[in-house]
A and B are shown apart, each in its own frame.
Chain A
Amino acid sequence: MEIKLRRNAQIFIIDIEGDMDLYQAYKLKELVAKMIQKNIVYYVINLEKVDYIDSSGVGALLYVHSALKKQKMKLLIANVHGSVKDVINLTQLMDYFNITKDVNTAIQELKPLIT
């Protein structure tokens, strides 16, 4: 699993590529924990290039969702598709996460919130 970070104004886009599994999902938690310390407020997690996720991957998304919510920071998860969508569906958390169609849509949704 590789994580790349890019930026659109104050919105940080976390592009994940590869398997979000029991061996690697922790990397997302570590990255976001560091970003929270730097007071970054607006996040998009892009799952376009993730084709496999397991409970550790879902756990990492839950951790990030919860940690950012506590800090009143904003997170949208984009491009939830295929097998990733099926696995999150099994946990019944599709409506719990803030999921949006793609990165551009996420940016358009977050921009009006930026103060």
Chain B
Amino acid sequence: METSLGSQDLGTGTRTVIAIVTAETLGLPVEAVKVNIGDNKYPPAGASGGSTTVSGVSTSTRRAATEALNSLIAKVAPSLGAPADQLEAWDSKIQVKGNPAKSIPWKQACAKMGASSITGTGKTSNDLMSSGVGGVQMSEVEVDTETGVVKIVKHVSVQDCGLVIDVRTAESQVYGAAIMGITYALFEEKIMDQPTGRCLNANMEFYKLAGIGDIGEIIPHMMTGPGYDERGTIGLGEPPVISPGAAISNAVANAIGVRVPELPLTPDRVLAALGKGGVA
């Protein structure tokens, strides 16, 4: 079983998601599916951007696999003595719906194809969205009121993205978003210089990014089940990056009793805010 799609995996789990959708559609284990991506000889796919990749590849893969499965079922139906629309793919078999006793194993079913192969193609329609998701984030922080240093203790991201194809890679996206969110809330700043017109920190030592010791405990929680699943797959990569700045600065304001009105929340800004009031 091969699924070919001119998409790409930036490390976000695109390959995994395509394999899962194909396998689930065909009633096969994930290992039975070979995924071909990252080459423009395969059918066109969207760019990986705008949080559209998973919703794009899932739908087209599902439709392609369904079309291929229907062709296979049509070839198998006579030997099971049932009309094609009464058959389903389940547990590596083609069977009469809900009746494993009346089934044919996947390999034998495929043997009915003879020397030729079956190909199905599917296209993603435009009604699927990269927007319309929701989420809530909460942050617990520690503020050193003598130095203005803010540390993240715990950051919780509750996130909806419609139908979650793979919880583990979805959570991984939320982790990544939280880390980048913590980074822009505390560290990230492009420093342009008036007298020279230069970017003063075009390097990794003063353009600061959070390291593993700086992110605290991150807890992603994906909303799944009724009310979420039936909305289909919606993009996830970017939405959870939006809230950390607000959640973290709210937590800091709650901790010290005064608001730090600018990101990132660096010691100079936190101390300046404390100088105007708050606990210190």
Q: Does A associate with B in a complex? A: no
